[in-house]
Amino acid sequence: MHGGPRARTIPAGPVGDGHVANNTDQQGPRPPDLVGEDALAASETLRDRAVGALLGCAVGDAIGELAFTHASKDRLQAAVARAQHLVYTDDTAMAIAVANALVEDGLIHAQALGDRFARGFQLEPWRGYGPGPPAIFKTVAETGRAYEEVARELYGGEGSLGNGAAMRAAPLGVAYRDTERLPAACDTASAVTHAHPVGRDAALLVARAVGQAIEAAIEGRRIRPHALAQHLTDGCRSEEMRHKMQAVTDYLEAGAQAEAVADAVGRSVSAPESVPFAVYAFLATPDDFEACLDTAALHGGDRDTLAAMAGSIAGAYLGEPAIPAPWRSRIEHRCQLRELARRLADAFPDSARAAAAQ
Ligand SMILES: [Mg+2]
């Protein structure tokens, strides 16, 4: 979310039949039980994709934030080139908290995650937080109530349907992939600040896309954008998100221009008006991290969060080397982000264990 100018086992079908560029030695889907060198290769791929997801989030977040004040491709490239460091915002700060919770606690516990979010805000309040989470942190600190309960009281008792739960959801997709345990973990992580069912559904969409991207990479399969879009559409639980994702699916099949898609599905801080476009930004050019980020960051709206979400999914699919070196070498805390992502991958080495852990 942009808080202001101050900072501010998929079925075999949906994800395709080809090969990811750096997994060209595999023919078809892997068997479910990996042994020996296969298991080692899978765990290295998982590590790389976990790093790609977190660095992709941070790079997208930082570059998307710059795009608020450098809104054309040329100006944005010049601004990125001039920047000594690329500085991420609340999106990545909160994704780091989710990843740390998964690594250190082994699962998502709402109150413990809320405390992590609150500590992050206290340490770095300048990272462009929107108004909702800090108000929740303050009320919980003063009253000792549950984060989820306070979050439900926002916005007339409906809770926030902003994209703030979706923007930090990538680590959940890394840990739980697209397993049956993912929805519950996502809902628990989301409800700490975003109680509205559509806001939670948006977080599940991002996490599921990340999970699908990682599974495809590990299995050496190339994503088929339209098929994955349809799979993600079918997985939406709310009518709002399903409607928008069906539109994305249809636009992908029709080969529509990004501008037309952005106008049709939206790009605001509201979850159903930005999360589907972020998913589109990845699916439009799934093999090109830079093009994905251009689509996400250069069509207006909630640029940092759009690019953070799109960058997470692209990084999860393509891995760290696909993120342009001048970008990933200048993102702040890159060594810590890389180490945290590797620990996350090692803590959740496969979908079966992820399912058992929650
Ligand atoms: Mg932000």
Candidates 27, 93, 49, 23; CA nearest to 209 is 49
| Tens digits of residue pLDDT in 245-293 | 999 999 999 999 999 999 999 999 999 999 999 999 999 999 999 999 9
Q: Ligand 1: distance of its center to the CA of 4 in Å?
A: 9
Q: Ligand 1: distance of its center to the CA of 167 in Å?
A: 8
Residue 3 lies in a domain: no
User: In the predicted model, is pLDDT for residue 34 greater than 80?
Assistant: no
| Tens digits of residue pLDDT in 82-101 | 999 999 999 999 999 999 99
The tokens of 186 are what? 């996502």
Candidates 21, 59, 352, 86; CA nearest to 217 is 21
Backbone angles phi, psi at 177, to 5 degrees: 50, -145
Q: How many domains does the chain have?
A: 1
| CA 138/CA 264 separation, integer angstroms | 37
How distant, in Å, are the alpha carbons of 36, 75, 254 from that of 167?
36, 25, 28
Helix ranges restricted to H, 160-235 = 170-176, 182-191, 197-218, 225-235
Q: Ligand 1: distance of its center to the CA of 308 in Å?
A: 8
Residue 142 lies in a domain: yes
Structural domain that includes position 50: 36-357
Q: Ligand 1: distance of its center to the CA of 46 in Å?
A: 26
Neighbours of ion ligand 1 (CB under 5 A): 89-91, 128, 304
Q: Using the CB atoms, write b or e for 269-279: b if 16+ within 10 Å.
A: bbbbbbbbbbb
| Tens digits of residue pLDDT in 52-71 | 999 999 999 999 999 999 99
- CATH code of 275's domain: 1.10.4080.10
Q: Ligand 1: distance of its center to the CA of 2 in Å?
A: 4
As to burial, measured by CB atoms within 10 angstroms (0-12 exposed, 13-18 middle, 19+ buried), residue 156 is exposed
Residue 1 lies in a domain: no
Residue 19 lies in a domain: no
| Tens digits of residue pLDDT in 299-344 | 999 999 999 999 999 999 999 999 999 999 999 999 999 999 999 9
| CA 340/CA 50 separation, integer angstroms | 9
| CA 272/CA 238 separation, integer angstroms | 10
Q: Ligand 1: distance of its center to the CA of 29 in Å?
A: 37
| CA 184/CA 186 separation, integer angstroms | 5
How distant, in Å, are the alpha carbons of 69, 126, 274, 315 from that of 129?
18, 7, 17, 24
Q: Ligand 1: distance of its center to the CA of 354 in Å?
A: 28
Candidates 118, 122, 129; CA nearest to 65 is 129
| Tens digits of residue pLDDT in 221-254 | 999 999 999 999 999 999 999 999 999 999 999 9
User: In the predicted model, is pLDDT for residue 42 greater than 90?
Assistant: no
Residue 268 lies in a domain: yes
Per the listing, tokens 């590590």 go with 47
Do 133 and 120 meet the contact criterion of CB atoms below 8 Å apart?
no
The tokens of 240 are what? 């709002």
Residue 14 lies in a domain: no
Do 91 and 57 meet the contact criterion of CB atoms below 8 Å apart?
yes
Do 10 and 311 meet the contact criterion of CB atoms below 8 Å apart?
no
Sign of CA dihedral 25, 27, 28, 30: negative
User: CB 193: neighbour CB atoms within 10 A?
Assistant: 29
Banded model confidence at residue 132, pLDDT cuts 50, 70, 90 = very high
DSSP letter assigned to residue 86: B
Residue 138 lies in a domain: yes
Q: Ligand 1: distance of its center to the CA of 233 in Å?
A: 26
Q: Ligand 1: distance of its center to the CA of 205 in Å?
A: 19
| CA 256/CA 260 separation, integer angstroms | 7
Q: Ligand 1: distance of its center to the CA of 40 in Å?
A: 36
Mean pLDDT of the chain: 90
Residue 5 lies in a domain: no
